[in-house]
Amino acid sequence: MVGMEGGSTRFRETANPQSTTLIDTIFTAARILPSSTLMVMATKPTKVHSNGAGATSNHHLDFLRVTEAAALSSARWVGKGKRNEADQAACSAMRITLNELEMCGVIAIGEGERDEAPMLYIGEKLGTGDGPTIQIAVDPLEGTNLCANGTPNSISVLAAAVEGEGFLMHAPDCYMDKLVVGVEAAGVVDITLPPRVNVRLMSKALGKEVDELIIGILDRPRHDALIAEIRDVGARVHLIPDGDLSVAIAALDPDSDIDALMGIGGAPEGVITAAAVLCYGGEMQARLVFSTDEQRERAVMMVDGDVNRVFSTRDLADGNVMFSATGITSGDLLKGVRYRRGFALTESIVMRSQNGTIRRIETMHRQVDQYEF
């Protein structure tokens, strides 16, 4: 890395857990660019070309800038009880930063339909218009209530796929029943089996006693029976007040306390989760859940094949996929934005499916006033 003034960063890079080769954890300390660029590795967004070469090298680090900007902007609203203002700040920062990137970006999953969202709506075109066409799935503020209340696990997250090289399913705005496990339990569980059976299968695969397992579940009345069944079999339950993305990704990490995610959450968030699973290793199985006939009809128009089938990870995300998430409030996956005298710290995770790299990046931002939207 080129030594430059303005801040510092710390990298932890690991191989994909599915790899059979052990690669030592690498720690690198370096001087980085002024935080006004929001960039770790380059002085400006990566120059990319229509053949996608730039996108497969450093474009994932450009997306890091995007989630960092959204996290820093919404962090000013943490604990202030103003969820709409926090969401607006995250959306504005994410959109502005995406428009700086040399790409033909298209929102595949965003804040809603064009008539429902003022920005980051489905189909919105972003970027300079040069470079590869990239499908983008975003959640500028996952856990809006968590941010407003100052509670754990709010993050800013983005997944992207280069058109022709990768795929993100255009998920309908409905619910999705999800089962997410790490690499050691991949190929063992089955979402069509009773939860108690999957818990026992995970116990055997992970080499843990059942009462040592922790299952993440959204704290909703619809999950009362699921929670009771998990507890009855002897496993522990980690109740999630809002937003299951952080806990789902934490379930992929063997160093986290979470062994699996189960239950029903948003389908769009499920596709973003699948992008992380594809990059990290592990397994995701899912089924669409419809509240109305209109939702089912829309799904039939948007999704190839039987909408009632069990979706695998690769049905939801496949090929050359990139993923970035930055913590807003500290939680199971990431530390939140931390303010110090004269600067702020962020922690992010950045992943690529193409080469299986998983980077945890801590960045110092010395010019934090620019993130006020």
Q: Which residues pair with residue 286 across a beta bridge?
A: 178, 311
Same domain? 148 vs 179: no
> What is the number of domains present in the chain?
2
In this prediction, residue 47 carries a pLDDT of 43
Q: Which residue, 67, 302, 314, 90, is CA-closest to 186? A: 314
Q: Based on the domain organization, do 26 and 149 belong to the same domain?
A: yes
pLDDT at 368: 79
Q: What is the CATH classification number for the domain harbouring 54?
A: 3.30.540.10
Look up tokens 């704290």; give the residue. 219
Interval 29-53: pLDDT, tens: 222 333 333 334 333 444 434 344 4
- Indicate whether 22 belongs to any domain: yes
114 and 229 co-located in one domain: no
CATH of the domain at 276: 3.40.190.90
CA distances, 120 to each of 138, 208, 303, 330 (Å): 8, 43, 21, 25
Whether 141 is covered by a domain: the verdict is: yes
| Residue whose tokens read 């509240």 | 291
pLDDT digits (tens, 9 = 90+) for 311-364: 999 999 999 999 999 999 999 999 999 999 999 999 999 999 999 999 999 999
Q: Is 47 exposed, middle or buried (0-12, 13-18, 19+ CB in 10 A)?
A: middle
Does 129 share its domain with 22? Answer: yes
203 and 156 belong to one structural domain: no
Q: pLDDT > 70: what percent of the chain?
A: 83
* Average pLDDT of the segment spanning 216-227: 98
Does 1 fall in a domain? Answer: no
Residues 20 and 54 in one domain: yes
Instruction: Give the pLDDT confidence of 121-169 residue by residue, as tens digits.
Output: 999 999 999 999 999 999 999 999 999 999 999 999 999 999 999 999 9
In a domain, 198, yes or no: yes
pLDDT of residue 53: 43
Q: Is the pLDDT of residue 304 over 80?
A: yes
Last residue of a domain, one of 318, 340, 357: 318
CB-based contact 320:161 (threshold 8 Å): yes
Identify whether 15 is part of a domain. Answer: yes
Task: Give the percent of the chain with pLDDT over 90.
Answer: 77
Report yes or no on 131 lying in a domain.
yes
Domain assignment of residue 2, yes or no = no
The helix (H) or strand (E) run that includes residue 20 is none
Mean pLDDT (the chain) is 86
- Asked if 182 and 312 sit in the same domain, the reply is yes
12 plus 135 within the same structural domain: yes
- With contact defined as beta carbons under 8 Å apart, do 12 and 359 qualify? yes
Average pLDDT over residues 223-232: 98
- How confident is residue 367, by pLDDT bands cut at 50, 70 and 90? confident
348 shares a domain with 265: no
Does residue 293 contact residue 163 with C-beta atoms inside 8 Å?
no
| Domain-located, residue 28 | yes
Residue 172 has pLDDT above 90, yes or no: no
| pLDDT value, residue 104 | 96
Fill in the DSSP letter of residue 112: S
Q: Is residue 236 domain-shared with residue 126, that is, in the same domain?
A: no
Q: Are residues 300 and 366 in the same domain?
A: no
What number of residues does the chain have?
A: 373
User: Are the C-beta atoms of residues 258 and 152 closer than 8 Å to each other?
Assistant: no
- Give residue 300's domain range: 175-318
Q: Does 47 share its domain with 135?
A: yes
